[in-house]
Amino acid sequence: MSTVPFVIAVHGGAGTISPEQANEAPYHEGLQAALRAGAAVLEAGGSALDAVQAAVQSLEDCPLFNAGCGAVYTADATHEMDASVMDGSNLKAGAVAGVHGVRNPVALARAVMDHTNHVLLVGEGAVRLAQEQGVPMADAAYFHSEERLAQLQRVRAQGAGVMALDHSAKTLTEKPTPIREDGKHGTVGAVALDQHGNVAAAVSTGGLTNKRPGRVGDSPIVGAGIYANNATCAIACTGTGEHFLRACVGHDIHARMAYKGESLEQAGEAVVHGLLKDIGGSGGLVSVDAKGHVHMPFNSVGMYRGVMRQGEAPQSFIFR
């Protein structure tokens, strides 16, 4: 059986810190570690689905990013995490929303896909599945961060109803004047093409700092924050989730390729710099098509992102 060269791409959130702010090196290290984790699966002949899960789990285990142990605080000073996975070879998907105490939410999303007849489980029902399937749990101390708590307090000080996209120089707010929050973290995601020609995607997030408990963004929603189909591409999004939901970003890119014959780059540019931007959305995505082309567009200041191809070293980027 013939094989194709594998490729994997990851993101750690769009928006980013300003170029003159903070040390970039740890973020590059985190992104490249995730790329190597996914590439190790692909190098061994593993599936794109297993690879993106491995890459996202690596990012969930890195406190620099808003997922897993780096998840931000809700308005109640708790953690509610969302995650999803999708297999482009059969359109199977699994997702969880509003979960707490789960060390790697992306592993729980995979359990929903593999061990239930459902696509999306939320809250306590999802946590119960984690316990039934032996998905690793962690106590509240594992998710606690003084920096994250201080971040919540800074956002709260801006007034009631304000929420910060912690990974962005821009913010999502119910008030007309946006605040600036010096976020250094972001939603995480991965896409891959394996040696068998299959694509897959995975996404995980802690959501918005000071979000209303129960809020769910685009990350666990198939067709919005994630999509994968061997006929076209795999996509993992990051940014202002409400806008990505309204624009159905993941499926729109797929549809443009499937029905209009657009390339991965044409479709991604049209959505990220067109429809998404037109409705006020900020963010970006990583994507790969069935031929191994990678496109990582964003309309924000920057996006933590990286790519690794078979036989090559990992590459990571933050700004343009």
Domain assignment present for 82:
yes
Query: If pLDDT is split at 50, 70 and 90, which confidence band does 165 have?
Result: low
**Residue 97, pLDDT score:** 98
Evaluate whether 98 touches 80 at the Cβ level (below 8 Å): yes
**Residue 22, pLDDT score:** 63
Domain assignment present for 257:
no
> Could you read off the pLDDT of 78-91 as tens digits, one per residue?
999 999 999 999 99
Query: If pLDDT is split at 50, 70 and 90, which confidence band does 171 have?
Result: very low
Residue 78 among known ligand-binding residues: no
Evaluate whether 72 touches 215 at the Cβ level (below 8 Å): no
pLDDT over threshold 90, residue 260 = yes
CA dist 127 and 135 (Å) reads 9
Residue 53 identity: Q
Look up the domain containing 69 and give its range.
7-215+298-317
pTM metric for this prediction: 0.93
How many structural domains comprise the chain?
A: 1
Name the residues annotated as catalytic: 187
**Out of 128-137, 183-192, 289-298, least confident range:** 183-192
> Could you read off the pLDDT of 16-67 as tens digits, one per residue?
666 666 689 999 999 999 999 999 999 999 999 999 999 999 999 999 999 9
Residue 217 among known ligand-binding residues: yes
CA dist 83 and 165 (Å) reads 17
Evaluate whether 304 touches 190 at the Cβ level (below 8 Å): no
Domain assignment present for 240:
no
Query: If pLDDT is split at 50, 70 and 90, which confidence band does 184 have?
Result: very low
Domain assignment present for 303:
yes
Residue 238 among known ligand-binding residues: yes
Which tokens sit at 98?
């509003």
Domain assignment present for 92:
yes
**Out of 8-17, 58-67, 115-124, 274-283, least confident range:** 8-17
Domain assignment present for 109:
yes
pLDDT over threshold 70, residue 70 = yes
Domain assignment present for 101:
yes
Residue 68 among known ligand-binding residues: no
> Could you read off the pLDDT of 202-216 as tens digits, one per residue?
999 999 999 999 999
Domain assignment present for 201:
yes
